[in-house]
Homo-oligomer: A and B are copies of this chain.
Amino acid sequence: MNSDKISHHISEQFNKELQDVRNKVLVMGGLVEHQLALAITAFTSGNVEIADQVIRRDSEVDVLEMTIDRECSEIIARRQPTAFDLRLLIAVIKIVREIERAGDKAVRIAQMAIRVSGVDGQYNHQYELEHMADLIKEMVHLSLDAFARLNIDEVTGITGRDANVNREYENILRRLITRMMEDPRNMARVLDVIWVARALERVGDYACNICEHLVYIVNGLDVRHLSHEEMQERIAGNSTDDVSRIRS
C-alpha cells in the first residue's frame, strides 16, 4: 500500500468518525425534540404517565451528551484536526450542551405537569401555552435541521423568531398576572404555568445558540452577542468555506 492510499484510508476513516459524531448529535436532537413535545403534552393534558416517561428517558439524553462529548475530545486528541474539522468538533461539544439543557427543561416541564395534576382541577391555564409551545418546537426543529444539513441559509430566519417568542412570553405573563390578581387563591398553580412559559422561552434561546454554533462551524465566524441585524450583516458579508466536503 503506498502512502497516498494510506492517507486516503485515514482520511476516509476520519470522515466516518466525523459523520458518526454528527449522526449521534441528530439522534440526541431528535430525542430531545420528542421529550419536549411529550412534556408539553403532559403539561397541557395533565397526563402523569407521559410526564413520568419524559423524566425516565432523561438519562438517555445525558448519556448521549457525555458520549458525544467524549468522542469529540478523543477525535481531537487522535486526529489533531484543524480548520473546518476542528471547528465542527468544538462546536459539537457546545451544541450537545445546548440540546442537553433543552432536555433538562423538558424534565422540568414534566415535573410541573405532575405537580399541577395533583391540584384540584377547577382551573386550567395550561392552554395559554399552546401557541408558544408550537413556536418553540418549530425553532428547535429548524435549528437541528440546519445543523443536519450544515446549512446556514435559514439561520437568521430561525434566530429572528426569538423576538416573537419573547413577545408571546410577555403576553402570557401579562394575562396570567391578571388572572392571579383576580383570584389569588389560584396563585401557586398559575405560577407553575408561568414557570413553564419561562422554560419554553429559554429553550428558544438554546435553539438560537445552536444556530450561532452552526455559523461558526460553516464559516468560522463567532456571531454570539450580536443583535439580529448585526448577525445578518456579518453572515451576509462572508462566504462559506470548506464545507462542501462534509456537508453531503
Contacts and interface: CB of A to CB of B under 8 A. Distances in A.
Given A86-B77, A90-B93, A62 B225 contact: yes
A181 to B, nearest CB: 5
Contacts of A225: 59, 62, 66
Contact of A177 (B59, B65, B80, B188): B188
Nearest to A174: B188
A11 interface: no
Copies of this chain, complex-wide, total 2
Nearest to A209: B97
Contacts of A62: 224-225
Interface residues on A, range: 20 to 34
A77 B66 contact: no
Interface in A64-122: 65-66, 69-70, 73, 76-77, 80, 82-83, 86-87, 90, 93-94, 97
A180 B70 CA distance: 47
Q: Which of A65, A73, A187, A222 has the most CB of B within 10 A?
A: A73
Contacts of A83: 77
A83 B73 CA distance: 10
A157 interface: no
B191 A185 contact: no
Nearest to A188: B177
27 contacts: A59-B225, A62-B224, A62-B225, A65-B224, A66-B222, A66-B224, A69-B222, A70-B222, A73-B86, A73-B87, A73-B90, A76-B76, A76-B90, A77-B82, A77-B83, A77-B86, A90-B90, A90-B93, A93-B94, A94-B97, A177-B187, A177-B188, A177-B191, A180-B180, A180-B187, A181-B184, A184-B184
